[in-house]
Chain A
Amino acid sequence: MASANLTLALYPFISDSDIFGDNLGLDEITSASQSGHMAPRLTRRRHLATCCFQMIQVQNPTNPLPVKERVAGTLSTHPIRAPLFVAAAALCFFTAAISISPVICVFCLLHQILGRFNRARAAQLTLPHFVCQTPLFMPVGTQVPGCKCCIVTVAEAFQNIVNVCNGPLRYPLRPLRNTETAVTRVNFLHTAEAGVTGTIKGLTTSQLEEIGCQIILGNTYHLALRPTSELIDELGGLHKFMNWPRALLTDSGGFQMVSLLHLADITEKGVTFQSPVDGKPMLLTPEESIQIQNRIGADIIMALDDVVRTTITGPRIEEAMYRTLRWIDRCIEAHKRPNEQNLFGIVQGGLDPVLRDICVRGLVDRNLPGYAIGGLSGGEDKDSFWRVVAQCTASLPEDKPRYVMGVGYPLDIVVCSALGADMYDCVYPTRTARFGTALIPEGVLKLKHRAMADDTRPIDPTCMCMVCKNYTRAYIHCLVTKDAMGSQLLSYHNLYYMMKLSNDLHSSIIEGQFPDGELYAYMYPLQSISEVIFIWLTLHFPLPAGLYVASYRKCSQRVMFPSGSAMPWRSLESISLPAVLNSQHPNIE
């Protein structure tokens, strides 16, 4: 903490003219993200502002803390490390202890940082059931065919329909015009799929172990509906029920309700939704969500948050953020198994850096075992996305794991790891496998494409997985979207790829070979193929700089083989934008 003290001691010399509402430029954040800095300049300024407020507060003790939460959030006791404010801090803690319910958190988690490279960190996360290496990717354990959160993005659905109806892709992807058609088409796709015995990710737990999965994510919402959390509890918890010896994480269930159910309504009490079983209105409160998750018994459980689409603006975002903060206290209160399960809080606040900051502070004050960055991956542009991640990871405590929710594109994982995040989850690798898409270092490979029919190479010649060691693209081509085995084999490869990626990230951070944070930050919005490949080369083939060019040439030939069916990342990103979740999001404003 020595460096922190040093940095903070300098704060009084920074002008605080633009404390709020400043819009940081790309270079500002990247320069702040260099090693040696603890936080972007914005956060440092905010920090200063808080300190000033607290000073005022302390000087005027008769004046109780403002009732308005926004200020309360800002004022909440952030530990002041600067020696200058020690006395003030002590008093401030005292004040806070009276006004904010004091929370003593017992952790059953150990987060040891093994290596750093600029902001990126590689750590060992010790959970009750498993010792994990971060950065890590968590596959989603329970996908349900009838579930709309587990299905395709519009573009993917559309593309599959094109494939089904017209054979191999004849015209390029284009987004659908309106929501209605999108939904209809997705539904059509679903009916079509239901007939094929529910082709869903089919891997056994021993295969998942073999691949190297460390944590599986279980959807609380689905598990609570079937087989119900009471039954899981009765049968000895989810670990025992599914015979998974490693770690598990459950979400709060709120996200699914809000995104799946049209009539979800969020009030201070909780999320009211229409039961999919009998249509009756039901209420999921923070207490109930935690109770259900306590019964399921995962290593990490998530607090119930008020989820809003990031593309929504205005007071709703603010309301959701403050509600999330209010709910976290109720979640902590309701948490009955803090010695066996780690409760993670979720940072909300849309794309507004001020709101995000208030939320981060509020959560950090509760001293939780870990923190998640939520509300992303909902269709915001990549530039806003990484800014939020950069801001949150900069102000979240160093010694706690950081989990970016719903992020799963390989490139997003690399960028978020460079910014200091540790955990990710996404249905993407298995979902895309069902539609015949394989993840490869150059991008994605569409195995439905006609050009694959006589391609006798493995999916990815550099991959060491069971599928790539044994099967040709031609064979997988004749299986995909027709036989259950096609999606099994592709899911296996795609998950192996994600695990390899997290492993590579872990070891390259420890070995200090992780690409420079600055380089990344500049490259990412540009997203040109050459640069992405460059990133990959620096990650995978630590060669002297002079050789990069040669390797890049080799690579680019692979990207553009005659059929053009290996898609560069750029196209992949364009697929990620129109998410079905958006189109089906209920109007909660």
Chain B
Amino acid sequence: MFTVKAWSKGRARSGILQIVGGSSCEIAIETPALLLSTRKGLPAFISPDLLPSLPSPDSHILQFSPLHFLEGLTPETMANCGGLHQMLGLHEYGFAAVPRDSIVCLPECNGTNKIGASFETPCGRLLIKSLEYMKMISSMKPNLWATLADEVPAWVSIKRNKNSVDRTVRWLDECIALSSTGGAVFGAIVGGSSVEERRRCAQEVAKRNVSGYWLGGFGLGESMDERSPLLNAVTCMGSDLRIIYPSKSRGRFVALGFQVLQGIASGVDLFDSTYIYDLTIGGFALIFPFDQIERNVSDSQPSAIGGDQTKINLKATVYRKDISPIVDGCSCYACQNHTKAYINHLLNVHEMLAQILLEIHNTHHYLGFFRAIRQAIKEGKFEQFRQQFIENRRHQIFAASLAHQAGKSCTLC
């Protein structure tokens, strides 16, 4: 199902993930890849008839949270419909189930106990047990699914952290025992900010029959510098594994682009990110050049209009009369059909079409970034790519860290 095709000097690798969609059609996704985050299986704003306008097959792998469906769809009805592919009519798409979604379903470590994991959801705080979770999974029939995890923030006590690893491993066993579908199991790896616990958890999970790892508990308080050893501790287990790395990304892009590159450098293959959603809600559009030909950025400063050379805020009045597309030459639906001035107007009058167009463009653009990374890995230039990316944004990283130290909120939060 997963084969590594190319390695860069470090751990970064490029491969092909082959999955079987709804009506037994084969989907081949090149990794490193981005899982598009969804609400109940569909992107937040892109309706299913607009999905094919996104780059294919890159966009054909969607992430969803089974917990979303607790709002009104029972596993029985889901099973009657024949699973998620059938229910959504998206047969040429692969689905990855992850318990939490980082937007509306968040882990709540204080509520979690030995029986099950606790989540804050739109229907209140819920305690999810393995049995319940597996019922949902088997009715939805996702292509890959992560097991239940007890995710804890970086600041919890050593005892609590140890506990979370024990629980996660126990739930993994329960989930595998209860599993009745053919979907690939991704064992959850937790361990907070302790390298030892992370390693212990990874070793335990690796002993089980899993097809990949889901790295949980990131973005919950650990620093960027702490993250690399944590990632390295768990990604050193061999080449036959795929890993979903949830990046909770309510931060600046610099940090995020860096995060993704950091993850890839450590050997992470799949990324599950809410970044596009956050940008879209904030009225931002990605504009950074992601190909190797970097523009001269020395003279561009983070401007006062709420953007930088990475993204622009289309709510800004400078775009009132701007009849150019978001990115010249971008082939997405939004850039092909609409101008910055129109999107600016839509944002001003709170028309949902603004979010639709922004989500299309941002998804398109971000998938392009991943494509460029894969290209770099294949050409053996990943390290250069990464260095250049960081170099070009050094002053932004600096500004971001200053803002972080000063406790200022960033543009997106």
Confirm or deny: A204 has a beta carbon within 8 angstroms of a beta carbon on chain B.
yes
Of A145, A231, A235, A477, which one neighbours B72 at CB under 8 angstroms? A477
> How many Å lie between the Cα of A434 and that of B324 in the bound state?
32
Confirm or deny: B345 has a beta carbon within 8 angstroms of a beta carbon on chain A.
yes
| A203 neighbours in B (Cβ, 8 Å) | 353
Q: How many CB-defined contacts (below 8 Å) exist between A and B?
A: 129
Confirm or deny: B384 has a beta carbon within 8 angstroms of a beta carbon on chain A.
no
How many residues on B have C-beta within 8 angstroms of the other chain's C-beta atoms? 43
Confirm or deny: B350 has a beta carbon within 8 angstroms of a beta carbon on chain A.
yes
Tell me the residues in window 152-205 of chain A with beta carbons closer than 8 Å to chain B beta carbons. 197-205
Confirm or deny: B338 has a beta carbon within 8 angstroms of a beta carbon on chain A.
yes
Report yes or no: A231 in contact with B321, Cβ–Cβ below 8 A. yes
Report yes or no: A470 in contact with B48, Cβ–Cβ below 8 A. yes
Instruction: Using known A-B contacts A231-B320, A484-B44, determine if residue A202 contacts B356 with beta carbons closer than 8 Å.
Output: yes
Tell me the residues in window 459-490 of chain A with beta carbons closer than 8 Å to chain B beta carbons. 466, 469-472, 474-475, 477-479, 482-485, 487-489
| A227 neighbours in B (Cβ, 8 Å) | 320, 341, 344-345, 348
| B356 neighbours in A (Cβ, 8 Å) | 202, 204, 488
> How many Å lie between the Cα of A212 and that of B104 in the bound state?
36
| B352 neighbours in A (Cβ, 8 Å) | 197-202, 484, 487-488
Of B77, B333, B348, B349, which one neighbours A474 at CB under 8 angstroms? B77
> How many Å lie between the Cα of A173 and that of B324 in the bound state?
49
Chain A interface size, under 10 / 10 to 19 / 20 to 34 / 35 or more: 35 or more
Confirm or deny: A206 has a beta carbon within 8 angstroms of a beta carbon on chain B.
yes
Of A469, A484, A487, which one neighbours B89 at CB under 8 angstroms? A469
Name the residue on A nearest B50 (C-beta): A204
Confirm or deny: B195 has a beta carbon within 8 angstroms of a beta carbon on chain A.
no
> How many Å lie between the Cα of A200 and that of B338 in the bound state?
19
Report yes or no: A142 in contact with B349, Cβ–Cβ below 8 A. yes
Report yes or no: A235 in contact with B341, Cβ–Cβ below 8 A. yes
Report yes or no: A454 in contact with B88, Cβ–Cβ below 8 A. no
Tell me the residues in window 129-156 of chain A with beta carbons closer than 8 Å to chain B beta carbons. 142-146
Instruction: Using known A-B contacts A206-B337, A479-B40, A485-B42, determine if residue A454 contacts B77 with beta carbons closer than 8 Å.
Output: yes
Instruction: Using known A-B contacts A242-B342, A243-B338, determine if residue A485 contacts B47 with beta carbons closer than 8 Å.
Output: yes
Confirm or deny: A241 has a beta carbon within 8 angstroms of a beta carbon on chain B.
yes
Report yes or no: A466 in contact with B351, Cβ–Cβ below 8 A. no
Confirm or deny: B323 has a beta carbon within 8 angstroms of a beta carbon on chain A.
yes
Report yes or no: B350 in contact with A474, Cβ–Cβ below 8 A. no
| B72 neighbours in A (Cβ, 8 Å) | 453, 477-478, 482
Report yes or no: B77 in contact with A456, Cβ–Cβ below 8 A. yes
| B73 neighbours in A (Cβ, 8 Å) | 453, 474-475, 477-478
> How many Å lie between the Cα of A112 and that of B353 in the bound state?
35
> How many Å lie between the Cα of A104 and that of B323 in the bound state?
38
Name the residue on B nearest A222 (C-beta): B349
Report yes or no: B350 in contact with A456, Cβ–Cβ below 8 A. no
> How many Å lie between the Cα of A86 and that of B267 in the bound state?
94
Tell me the residues in window 303-358 of chain B with beta carbons closer than 8 Å to chain A beta carbons. 320-321, 323, 333, 337-339, 341-342, 344-345, 348-353, 355-357
B249 to chain A, nearest CB (A): 19
Confirm or deny: B186 has a beta carbon within 8 angstroms of a beta carbon on chain A.
no
| A197 neighbours in B (Cβ, 8 Å) | 281, 350, 352, 355
Confirm or deny: A234 has a beta carbon within 8 angstroms of a beta carbon on chain B.
yes
Of A143, A234, A474, which one neighbours B81 at CB under 8 angstroms? A474
| B320 neighbours in A (Cβ, 8 Å) | 227, 231
> How many Å lie between the Cα of A202 and that of B357 in the bound state?
10
Confirm or deny: B80 has a beta carbon within 8 angstroms of a beta carbon on chain A.
yes
Confirm or deny: B111 has a beta carbon within 8 angstroms of a beta carbon on chain A.
no
Report yes or no: A243 in contact with B337, Cβ–Cβ below 8 A. yes
| B281 neighbours in A (Cβ, 8 Å) | 197
Confirm or deny: B291 has a beta carbon within 8 angstroms of a beta carbon on chain A.
no
| A469 neighbours in B (Cβ, 8 Å) | 89
> How many Å lie between the Cα of A474 and that of B86 in the bound state?
13
Report yes or no: B351 in contact with A475, Cβ–Cβ below 8 A. no
A516 to chain B, nearest CB (A): 39
Name the residue on B nearest A198 (C-beta): B350
Confirm or deny: A68 has a beta carbon within 8 angstroms of a beta carbon on chain B.
no
Report yes or no: A472 in contact with B47, Cβ–Cβ below 8 A. no
Confirm or deny: A492 has a beta carbon within 8 angstroms of a beta carbon on chain B.
yes
Confirm or deny: A207 has a beta carbon within 8 angstroms of a beta carbon on chain B.
yes
Instruction: Using known A-B contacts A454-B74, A488-B47, determine if residue A144 contacts B89 with beta carbons closer than 8 Å.
Output: no
Of B45, B345, B349, B357, most A-chain CB atoms within 10 Å: B349
Tell me the residues in window 179-199 of chain B with beta carbons closer than 8 Å to chain A beta carbons. none
B81 to chain A, nearest CB (A): 6
| A235 neighbours in B (Cβ, 8 Å) | 321, 323, 339, 341
B359 to chain A, nearest CB (A): 10
Tell me the residues in window 479-521 of chain A with beta carbons closer than 8 Å to chain B beta carbons. 479, 482-485, 487-489, 492
> How many Å lie between the Cα of A475 and that of B42 in the bound state?
11
Of B39, B345, B351, B357, which one neighbours A485 at CB under 8 angstroms? B39
| B45 neighbours in A (Cβ, 8 Å) | 202, 484-485, 488
Confirm or deny: B220 has a beta carbon within 8 angstroms of a beta carbon on chain A.
no
Of B122, B338, B352, B356, most A-chain CB atoms within 10 Å: B352
B400 to chain A, nearest CB (A): 26
Confirm or deny: A554 has a beta carbon within 8 angstroms of a beta carbon on chain B.
no
> How many Å lie between the Cα of A454 and that of B74 in the bound state?
8
B354 to chain A, nearest CB (A): 9
Report yes or no: A478 in contact with B71, Cβ–Cβ below 8 A. yes
Confirm or deny: B69 has a beta carbon within 8 angstroms of a beta carbon on chain A.
yes
Tell me the residues in window 221-254 of chain A with beta carbons closer than 8 Å to chain B beta carbons. 222, 226-227, 231, 234-236, 241-243
Tell me the residues in window 1-47 of chain B with beta carbons closer than 8 Å to chain A beta carbons. 39-40, 42, 44-45, 47
A494 to chain B, nearest CB (A): 14
> How many Å lie between the Cα of A144 and that of B45 in the bound state?
18
| A492 neighbours in B (Cβ, 8 Å) | 47
Report yes or no: A456 in contact with B80, Cβ–Cβ below 8 A. yes
Report yes or no: B350 in contact with A145, Cβ–Cβ below 8 A. yes
| B333 neighbours in A (Cβ, 8 Å) | 204, 206
Of B50, B69, B341, which one neighbours A478 at CB under 8 angstroms? B69
B395 to chain A, nearest CB (A): 32
B58 to chain A, nearest CB (A): 21
| A200 neighbours in B (Cβ, 8 Å) | 350-352
Name the residue on A nearest B344 (C-beta): A227
Of A145, A210, A226, A475, which one neighbours B345 at CB under 8 angstroms? A226
Report yes or no: B323 in contact with A226, Cβ–Cβ below 8 A. no
> How many Å lie between the Cα of A566 and that of B220 in the bound state?
47
> How many Å lie between the Cα of A402 and that of B281 in the bound state?
42
> How many Å lie between the Cα of A489 and that of B50 in the bound state?
12
| A478 neighbours in B (Cβ, 8 Å) | 40, 69, 71-73
Report yes or no: A204 in contact with B353, Cβ–Cβ below 8 A. yes
> How many Å lie between the Cα of A30 and that of B49 in the bound state?
46
Report yes or no: B39 in contact with A483, Cβ–Cβ below 8 A. yes
Confirm or deny: B76 has a beta carbon within 8 angstroms of a beta carbon on chain A.
yes
> How many Å lie between the Cα of A270 and that of B23 in the bound state?
64
A196 to chain B, nearest CB (A): 10
Report yes or no: A207 in contact with B88, Cβ–Cβ below 8 A. no
Name the residue on B nearest A147 (C-beta): B349
> How many Å lie between the Cα of A201 and that of B39 in the bound state?
18
| A485 neighbours in B (Cβ, 8 Å) | 39-40, 42, 44-45, 47
| A199 neighbours in B (Cβ, 8 Å) | 352
Report yes or no: A475 in contact with B342, Cβ–Cβ below 8 A. no
Instruction: Using known A-B contacts A201-B352, A242-B342, determine if residue A207 contacts B71 with beta carbons closer than 8 Å.
Output: no
Name the residue on A nearest B84 (C-beta): A475
17 contacts between A and B (CB under 8 A): A144-B351, A145-B350, A202-B353, A204-B333, A204-B337, A204-B357, A206-B333, A206-B337, A207-B49, A226-B348, A227-B320, A227-B341, A235-B321, A235-B323, A454-B74, A470-B88, A472-B87
Beyond A235-B341, A485-B44, 18 additional contacts (C-beta under 8 Å) are A198-B351, A200-B350, A200-B352, A202-B45, A202-B352, A204-B357, A205-B337, A207-B49, A227-B348, A243-B342, A469-B89, A471-B87, A474-B81, A477-B73, A478-B69, A478-B71, A482-B72, A484-B44
- What are the 9 tightest A-B residue pairs by CB atom distance, in nearest-first order? A470-B89, A202-B352, A198-B350, A478-B72, A478-B73, A454-B77, A227-B345, A474-B77, A466-B49
